[in-house]
Amino acid sequence: MIIVGAGPAGMRAAEALAAAGIRPTVIDEGQLSGGQIYRRQPVNFTRRYEALYGADAKKARALHKAFNALQGRIDYRPETLAWNLRDDVLHIVTDGVAAALRFDALILATGATDRLAPIAGWTLPGCYSLGGAQIALKAQACSIGARPLFLGTGPLLYLLAYQYLKAGAPPAAVLDTAPFAAQVKALPDLAVRPGFLARGLMFRARLRAAGILIENGVEPLAIEGEGKVAAVRYRTAGGTERRIACDAVGMGFHLRSETQLADLAGCPFLFDAATGQWRPDADRDGRTPRAGIYVAGDGARLLGADAAEAAGRLAALAALTDRGMEVDMAEVARLRRRMERLDRFRRGLATAFPWPARLACAVADEVIVCRCEAITAGNIREAAVGKDAPELNRAKALSRIGMGRCQGRFCSSAAAEILAEARNVPLAEVGRLRGQAPIKPLSMATVKGERP
């Protein structure tokens, strides 16, 4: 059995399999296990768990400890990329050496990245994803600038601003594209996790108390500067245009799942109208219709780190059940109940921090949508209308949108909106970019390994 990913889902899946006497192979692109939320700092850093993970310190410590304890009982392969999947064989590369691993069961715990919509100037040096800005702080003890501005929407927007404030880099402002009314409307769903909700309100209160401007319902207009970020221009909810000086920007609109391997495995995908995103079809335990393929964590559904731990265990127990092994059904029932509760919370987040579809459709022709190859919104509209591309993969062939080295990870959400708008069709109709191997760039110098 193979697990891809060593974040909360992958780590808990490995633990459950090892407890059943199976020695899973765990493929991790990271240098150290933990994934993004529970990312570990380099070994020569000395900050304590409380400084790194705040209120989640206990969870982080428990998770790291549980995974460390698996040493010798799992085949853990850090700094390893799973780049292709075909006919029940996973193709990996470690330090330039490739290998092919056959599997009976594969648990994909591939996580998520920030979901992005382009803003004029977002390719300027000094502009990062919110997740990237958090990694700078957590993994490298750096801020992205002396006066960073955070822009977008989602729970990370406020958490990150608070973390920067606490670390001694107070943000220039927090600009949320979601209207405040959306956050109020989501309260009943968010209240299923009172602790999380209370923390969110606390972040807001602390930021305000520190004199940091928080605006809701903004329309970002441009990130300005010459060779580096100098200011953000936006329109307030009331319609006034404003400009705030800053030397860095962290931006993002909640998350998108990493689903390329599920796609290459031939898993069918479902369209989720509430978020406008596609996700691999799976039952409540993470079983996909493709025998032997399971999905867990944010790579399957965006439920957050707590749910990822539960989902990782559930997927592992499902894989064991499917192999005729006995599992504790009471635990399965408990985990399923937990997942259901957290799914209500997910719906609350989607209401509170909606993806700004309108903003993405309205991006001006000259704005770069694809950071990799500088493909503009105008190029996509030309493919949509002038060259009659009915769906994303055709638009990709005609405009190169999504063809760059990130393979559409950071442009495809907005590209789909632009295409659907230009064609005047519902978003689901323009489809999604097909995953292509290698799912991340490989070096031409990659060689075939002697031993799997």
Report the interface residues with other proteins, using CB under 8 A. Answer: 29, 31, 36, 41-47, 113-114, 123-129, 131-133, 135-137, 139-146, 167-169, 227-228, 247-248, 258, 368, 371-374, 400, 404-406, 409-410, 440-441, 443, 445
Going by the DSSP 8-state scheme, the letter that residue 230 receives in this structure is -
* Residue nearer to other proteins on the CB measure, 256 or 287: 256
* Residue nearer to other proteins on the CB measure, 118 or 155: 118
Q: Which residues contact 349 (CB under 8 A, 6 or more apart)?
A: 154, 155, 186, 190, 254, 302
Query: Within 10 Å of residue 447's Cβ, how many Cβ atoms?
Result: 10
Cis peptide before 289 (omega within 30 of 0): no
The answer to whether residues 11 and 312 touch, using CB atoms and an 8 Å cutoff, is yes
* Residue nearer to other proteins on the CB measure, 143 or 351: 143
Q: Rounded to the nearest whole angstrom, what is the least distance from the CB of residue 227 to other proteins in the complex?
A: 6
Single out the residue of 190, 193, 161 nearest to residue 175, CA to CA.
161
Q: Rounded to the nearest whole angstrom, what is the least distance from the CB of residue 404 to other proteins in the complex?
A: 8
* Residue nearer to other proteins on the CB measure, 226 or 326: 226
Q: Rounded to the nearest whole angstrom, what is the least distance from the CB of residue 228 to other proteins in the complex?
A: 7
Q: Rounded to the nearest whole angstrom, what is the least distance from the CB of residue 344 to other proteins in the complex?
A: 28
* Residue nearer to other proteins on the CB measure, 44 or 240: 44
Going by the DSSP 8-state scheme, the letter that residue 383 receives in this structure is I
* Residue nearer to other proteins on the CB measure, 96 or 188: 96
Phi-psi region of 295 (alpha: psi -120 to 50; beta: other; left: phi over 0): beta
Count Cα atoms within 13 angstroms, Cβ side, for 15: 21
Q: Rounded to the nearest whole angstrom, what is the least distance from the CB of residue 207 to other proteins in the complex?
A: 18
CB-neighbour burial class of residue 332 (10 A; exposed 0-12, middle 13-18, buried 19+): middle
Phi-psi region of 87 (alpha: psi -120 to 50; beta: other; left: phi over 0): left
CA-atom Rg of the chain in angstroms: 22
* Residue nearer to other proteins on the CB measure, 44 or 424: 44
Q: Rounded to the nearest whole angstrom, what is the least distance from the CB of residue 323 to other proteins in the complex?
A: 32
CA separation (Å) from 222 to 161, 414, 418? 20, 16, 18
Tokens 């549980």 correspond to 66
Q: Rounded to the nearest whole angstrom, what is the least distance from the CB of residue 452 to other proteins in the complex?
A: 23
The answer to whether residues 268 and 280 touch, using CB atoms and an 8 Å cutoff, is yes
Q: Rounded to the nearest whole angstrom, what is the least distance from the CB of residue 302 to other proteins in the complex?
A: 16
* Residue nearer to other proteins on the CB measure, 137 or 418: 137
